[in-house]
Amino acid sequence: MRSVTLSRFLIEEQRDKNVISPDLRLLIEVVSRACKAISIAIGKGSLAGVLGSAGSDNVQGEVQKKLDVISNEILLDANEWGGHLAGMASEEMELPHAIPNRYPKGEYLLLFDPLDGSSNIDVNVSVGTIFSVLRCPEGMDPNEQAFLQPGTRQVCAGYAVYGPTTLLVLTLGDGVNVFTLDREFGRFVLTQGDVKIPEETREFAINASNSRYWEEPVKRYVDELLAGKDGPRGQDFNMRWVASMVADVHRILSRGGIFMYPIDSKTRAQGGKLRLMYEANPMAMIVEQAGGAATDGRRRILDIQPEKLHQRVPVILGSKREVERITSYHGQ
């Protein structure tokens, strides 16, 4: 079989289909290279002394792992000088990172969660990188305001999963493609084109230790799943929770399911747990492009007008019918 590398795929998207600009192609190439570097750092683990805590807190109030900081640095360094970006924003940085004056500037804004699932890093469980690309509004400096665009404006979104294999999952708003890192050659190869999430599922993902804090619609929905074939759903459901969003979402992309990090009485004051700009929006775009759905329980995630860079949001995404069901419970 002829193997299509990410580079070839992107060149064809630009040249033959006109789906992306040369600068967006460069951006994705650079991000994929950064993900490769992160994958290598993660793969070395203790041998390179990269595990454990960095001894600092981020703007989210979380203790930073060394690899949170290293991954953030890798993405910044890789993307600073190419001339394709106006600015960057990250889960790990309080303020947007402007491109230094010594480098040319481009029209895109890059947002990322450099290391997703970092609580799993020290126990050797899959982690990832999530990213989202917006256009910088014309004539605007890449300050916080420039980034506050709804997810519908994303021109590209993707994630890397650093698991048994390293994968890059990408959407340009034209379906979802999966690339596998060929470690010997150091390149990503297209291994699954136009992925679609199965509409029906018997699997769900939620951190059930929060159940006493949930709202009524979430309790009802999960109770019905747990009742299995004796309940209103008339069938048994299986539960999975990796606690790395990338791994949970990737499982859903592969075999269907629903992922929920709903608002609860513990996270209400901050608006939810997951971050709209670095986690919810890119994942919602990918899931919708794969035929699934993503809401905050009430609204489509991609329609939310962000008010703050580090805004948090409840997230319910995955197989369409299940997302529609629990979303309708919220309306009742």
Determine contact, residues 218/266, Cβ cutoff 8 Å.
no
Determine contact, residues 133/108, Cβ cutoff 8 Å.
yes
Residue from 13, 29, 113, 203 binding Mn ion (CB under 5 A) = 113
> Is 117 marked as binding a ligand?
yes
Would you say the C-alpha torsion 35, 33, 149, 259 has a positive or negative sign?
negative
Q: Which of 298, 331, 290, 328 shows the shortest CA–CA distance to 315?
A: 298
Q: Which residues are CB-neighbours of 186 under 8 A, at least 6 positions away?
A: 36
Q: Which of residues 82-111 bind Mn ion (CB under 5 A)?
A: 91
| Using rule CB under 6 A, residue 113 touches ligand AHG | yes
> Is 170 marked as binding a ligand?
no
Q: Provide the minimum distance between the beta carbon of 58 and Mn ion in the complex, in angstroms, as a whole number.
A: 6
Site string for ligand AHG, 197-236 (x = CB under 6 A): ----------x-----------------------------
Q: CA-to-CA distance for 258 and 317, rounded, in angstroms?
A: 6
> Is 303 marked as binding a ligand?
no
Among the residue ranges 28-36, 55-63, 78-86, 166-174, the one whose residues contact Mn ion (CB under 5 A): 55-63
Residue entry with tokens 């999530």: 130
**Sequential DSSP letters for 269-315:** GGT-SEEIIIIIHHHHHHHHHTT-EEESSSSBGGG---SSTT-EE-E
Among the residue ranges 18-26, 39-47, 113-121, 137-145, the one whose residues contact ligand AHG (CB under 6 A): 113-121
| Using rule CB under 5 A, residue 62 touches Mn ion | yes
Q: Provide the minimum distance between the beta carbon of 64 and Mn ion in the complex, in angstroms, as a whole number.
A: 8
Q: Provide the minimum distance between the beta carbon of 158 and ligand AHG in the complex, in angstroms, as a whole number.
A: 15
CB atoms within 10 A of CB 210: 16
Q: CA-to-CA distance for 242 and 153, rounded, in angstroms?
A: 29
Q: Which residues are CB-neighbours of 147 under 8 A, at least 6 positions away?
A: 87, 89, 96, 109, 111, 134, 277, 306, 309
Q: Provide the minimum distance between the beta carbon of 17 and ligand AHG in the complex, in angstroms, as a whole number.
A: 33
H or E element in which residue 73 lies:
helix 66-80
Among the residue ranges 26-34, 54-62, 77-85, 214-222, the one whose residues contact Mn ion (CB under 5 A): 54-62
> Is 158 marked as binding a ligand?
no
- What is the binding site for ligand AHG (CB under 6 A)? 62, 91, 113, 116-119, 207, 243-245, 261
Binding-site positions read 91, 113, 115-119, 207, 273, 279
- What is the binding site for Mn ion (CB under 5 A)? 62, 91, 113, 115-116
Binding-site positions for substrate read 116-119, 207, 273
